[in-house]
Structure 1
Amino acid sequence: MEGHTTANASLTIRCIYMLLALYEKDRTTAELLEYLAEKELASVSKRTIQRNLEDLEGHFGLSRKPKTAASEPDIWQLQQQEFERLLELEDPVALALVIAQQQLAELGPMSVFKPVEGLFQRAREQLAVRKSLASLWYQRVKVTGASHRLTGPELDSEKSQRLLEVALKQVAVRLCYHPHQGDPGQTLRATALAVFYRGAVAYLVIRDHANDRVRQLPFSRISEVREIVTDDPRVGDFELDSYAASGALAYKFGEPFRLEAIIFNSIRREIEDAPLGDNQELLPLEGQPNCRLLRVTVPYTLNLVQWLLARAAYLKILAPSEFRDKFQEELRRALANFESEQLQVPTQRNFAAVKK
């Protein structure tokens, strides 16, 4: 830029501030000088500001308003739409942000991403008016979770923030907990240990001071939380990664095992290119052209069991025998409820560790 009398860094900062000021509203040179003074930038003359503006004129949407009289001061204006092109994202970047937001909405918690919601919004708006391949992808491709997920409950933001804070600090707390909606509150004294999200549902992990047991309480069932100084925190040897590895956060029934089953083509199509687990094999069966023998190492979790139960009419569990028997028992219990006038709730859990 020609004619500047200040260091390059100061000039750049001053020009950026002037453009931002004109993005807000039209201003005269004198008004811009006052604006820069409010920002505590290095003092320069009115003539220097005028010269800077003249150098920038025609760039970034900057121009002077037409005068009605020669004696009128210059009024500088910024075409906002043209200026905003400086802030545009590349379309593939915008698409990545939009898809990331969709994936995050499935997993939660979106509250963590509130500071960048404006960036997500910009990406959506930009793609909505484009005709690029990225924008067409956004319009014609949908991304969703691989299975059903619970939607997040409506939570009080202030209470949720307090629950998060006590967990981050790992302090002793007094909680009012409701086992079900409408139940009277139970007062618990505990140590807040951690927070985890099962999908979009937030849980507070605590150590109950009454019995030293580690528990998980959904945020939505806690109506009150107060930090207390009369009890010492009981963090003990709790470590979140170890707790997760134990299966406590994933409804883990046992260790991974080798599953063997006969599956119909509808299931084969699901898992042929998206395997159910490790070392998957799909072998032809003599006399059953529409079926395959499946062998695969799977995690022994609630998610696996639910996935298999949802497809029970299209598969036959062969091994391990212990898991086959438990799966059959679960189906028997479900059928009994259809045949009974009243719901028969099992007194014992069915699934547990399976021998490999």
Structure 2
Amino acid sequence: MEGQTTKGESLTIRCIYMLLALYERPRTVAELEAYLQEKGLAQVSRRSLQRNLEDLEGHFGLYREEREAANAADVWNLAQQDFEKLLELEDPVALALVIAEQQLKQLGPMTVFAPVQSLFERAREQLASRNTTASLWLKRVKVSAASHRLVGPELASEQSQRLLDVALRQVAIRLHYHPHQGDPAQVIRATALAVFYRGAVAYLIVRDHSNDRVRQLPFSRISEVREVVTEDARVGDFDLDTYAASGALAYRFGDPFRLEAVVFNSIRREIEDAPLGEDQELLELADQPHCRLLRVTVPYTLNLVQWLLARAAYLKIIGPDDFRNKFQEELRRALKNFESEELCVPAERNFGS
């Protein structure tokens, strides 16, 4: 009859469910009977279940524990390592999982991946016990972030979950915010709009009700958050994709521009195969054989400025004029701090002003 489960198919399904139940923990036949009933399987006698288990004994890691007394019920168990061979990953898949976990730790948040943490662990354990190309790759190839990243702050999981929850529901809130560690709390009434992670650092995006301004507040500086049911949420036209596209999440200083600079060979080697932009040009200079003229369209962000400042001794900014002047001013300010007894904090920002 079409759609009807045959006796053999029923037995197969029953045996699979019993093995899965025993993978969770040891059980008696009576406990397995209850487990199968919960799963909606056709009822069979305990004697049939006992026979099924005896037929499977010695396979897939299934065994009976020693009885504590002669009249005690059999307790069935699984040698998990033997059973997990059925679930074994292909080594390239295991390697991909391990590398993905390493990258995720750099980016955050790992709490999102808690449900698959056991899969990451199984992949690591599998490769550790092998001598395959994939396992050797893991031992002899290092994957790290392209630049320095901040270490994620220690956060109370309950508080973090509460902040994430109000952002997902976009509700009106009252929160206690501390500009610096140890500062008195500022009470802010706002609407929770979204959450973003800059590396491993989590930020709550809110609309401040006092001035309607959208702000980004680090989770680590919020000591208390409560939903305010007496106040309407002010989501307005906020859209996270539009907000991100505006550059608000990337410390954006302005529109992309065409950078022109003379760079030494050390920088040339760095960017020849990993260019700063798709239209990058590196042109020879007749009077400077160890340098190149760089022309490339770049995003006007903090990351770009920091990248250039870190290599300032090996490059010369040619243009555009506005960027060249600001870059020169940033170097002057840095030099001034080395030449002064005290830190000289600028009255105004240079980039982004």
Please give the TM-score of this superposition, normalised by the length of structure 1. 0.90
2:289 alignment partner in structure 1: 289
Does 2:194 correspond to 1:197? no
1:253-286 per-residue CA deviation (whole Å, 9 max, x = no partner) reads: 1111111111111111111100111201111111
Does 2:351 correspond to 1:351? yes
Q: Map of 1:109-258 to 2, 5 A cutoff?
A: 109-258=109-258
**Which one is further off, 8-17 or 214-223?**
8-17
1:13 alignment partner in structure 2: 13
Q: Are the aligned partners of 2:127 and 2:134 in contact in 1 as well (CA < 8 Å)?
A: yes
Does 2:10 correspond to 1:35? no
Q: Are the aligned partners of 1:251 and 1:302 in contact in 2 as well (CA < 8 Å)?
A: yes
Q: Are the aligned partners of 2:29 and 2:50 in contact in 1 as well (CA < 8 Å)?
A: no
In structure 1, C-alpha distance between the alignment counterparts of 2:351 and 2:49, rounded to whole Å: 77
1:206-233 per-residue CA deviation (whole Å, 9 max, x = no partner) reads: 1111111111100000000000022111
Paired residue secondary structure (2:175): strand
Q: Are the aligned partners of 2:258 and 2:298 in contact in 1 as well (CA < 8 Å)?
A: yes
In structure 1, C-alpha distance between the alignment counterparts of 2:233 and 2:215, rounded to whole Å: 15
Closer, same or farther: CA 118–78 of 1 in aligned 2, 3 Å: closer
The one-letter code sitting in structure 1 at the alignment partner of 2:116 is: V
How much has 1:343 moved relative to structure 2?
1.2
Q: Are the aligned partners of 2:194 and 2:204 in contact in 1 as well (CA < 8 Å)?
A: yes
In structure 1, C-alpha distance between the alignment counterparts of 2:141 and 2:299, rounded to whole Å: 30
In structure 1, C-alpha distance between the alignment counterparts of 2:23 and 2:164, rounded to whole Å: 38
Paired residue secondary structure (2:254): coil
The one-letter code sitting in structure 2 at the alignment partner of 1:37 is: A
Q: Map of 1:36-51 to 2, 5 A cutoff?
A: 36-40=33-37, 41-51=41-51
Q: Structure 2 stretches of 5 or more lacking a match?
A: none
How much has 1:114 moved relative to structure 2?
1.1
How much has 1:20 moved relative to structure 2?
3.5
How much has 1:110 moved relative to structure 2?
0.9
How much has 1:315 moved relative to structure 2?
0.4
Q: Are the aligned partners of 1:21 and 1:32 in contact in 2 as well (CA < 8 Å)?
A: no
Instruction: Name the % identity.
Output: 75
How much has 1:62 moved relative to structure 2?
3.8
How much has 1:79 moved relative to structure 2?
4.0
In structure 1, C-alpha distance between the alignment counterparts of 2:160 and 2:74, rounded to whole Å: 53
Closer, same or farther: CA 78–195 of 1 in aligned 2, 3 Å: closer
Q: Map of 1:271-350 to 2, 5 A cutoff?
A: 271-350=271-350
Closer, same or farther: CA 54–6 of 1 in aligned 2, 3 Å: farther
Closer, same or farther: CA 333–84 of 1 in aligned 2, 3 Å: same
Closer, same or farther: CA 180–65 of 1 in aligned 2, 3 Å: closer
Please give the TM-score of this superposition, normalised by the length of structure 2. 0.90
Closer, same or farther: CA 205–287 of 1 in aligned 2, 3 Å: same
How much has 1:6 moved relative to structure 2?
5.8
Q: Structure 1 stretches of 5 or more lacking a match?
A: none
RMSD of the TM alignment (CA)? 2.5
How much has 1:10 moved relative to structure 2?
2.9
How much has 1:13 moved relative to structure 2?
2.6
Q: Are the aligned partners of 1:202 and 1:219 in contact in 2 as well (CA < 8 Å)?
A: yes
**Which one is further off, 42-51 or 196-205?**
42-51
